[in-house]
A = this chain, B = another copy of it.
């Protein structure tokens, strides 16, 4: 049974054990990758995953070939599970704080075909993925048992992916994780102090300077953060404050899919298709409306490895100045003519 445990020295929370737990040799790094024949995410292999909780049909001529375009399924090896009591919190009376690992862990399969990056999808199909993000956030918010939903992509083995077929993960938690709560608190404090969103101010400063801008569109800006902890880290945010992507309309979603696809494309061309992570930062469900959380996306290729210094100090070493990273990503155009 998965469990949330808090380390008394670092006060870090860890989800320990779970369906993912198994024998030691399973942790050894695997270099072999599944072919599309035995990929559980490919159309035709639906029986290898749990029953879908949501399906988005293929559009245009593809509907004849594929029964679905995007498919949301419970994670077969969940880190947290709804099959345990949501409460009560248990305590063993010592220094060891822990709680039962209640939560919901899902996978968004982003294509019926065996492709390995979001950037290989048509724009319409990329929009469907963002539509699925919106729908899962709305559904899990309405569920009432969850306080926060983390949506993220691990692309490539170096980014922690075990399957290469393009997909996202959704983890719904009955509590707000510490780093998310700290960020929300900082948005609230900045709002109280200055009357505006911290990220709006950052975006304006980035636009004024220009040296770390990677891409922009009428509603969105992508830049390499001034204190990037990873080389080529990109933050993508709406120019105007909003706590979540749930209210974005069709046209806005299309614009978002376009600029995210552009950023991923630039990273893939500049760095020969590296492994990367994509993280959606969205508001905790119980945040006060006055706290003005400002949603954003982080995308970073996995080129360097966190090592002894980072694990110990919480301070990061990034050999690549973000000004240089942004310049290289800007140069990595969409086509020779761009």
Contact = CB atoms under 8 A, between A and B. Distances in A.
Interface in A210-251: 225-229, 231
A8 B179 CA distance: 13
Contacts of A6: 227
B312 A281 contact: yes
Contacts of A229: 7, 12, 14
A9 B184 CA distance: 9
Given A198-B9, A270-B24, A15 B307 contact: no
A316 B95 CA distance: 19
Contacts of A225: 7, 9
B320 A21 contact: yes
Contacts of A322: 16
A49 B307 CA distance: 22
A313 B150 contact: yes
Contacts of A20: 317, 319
Interface stretch (A38-46, A113-121, A297-305): A297-305
Contact of A13 (B12, B171, B272, B315): B315
Main secondary structure of the interface of A (DSSP, over half): mixed
21 contacts: A7-B225, A9-B225, A13-B314, A16-B228, A17-B321, A20-B319, A21-B319, A24-B328, A27-B271, A28-B303, A29-B303, A79-B319, A95-B202, A96-B205, A158-B305, A159-B308, A160-B308, A179-B313, A180-B312, A278-B308, A298-B311
Given A16-B318, A279-B312, 13 more contacts: A5-B226, A7-B228, A8-B227, A11-B186, A13-B315, A24-B320, A79-B317, A95-B202, A95-B205, A150-B312, A159-B308, A177-B314, A298-B311
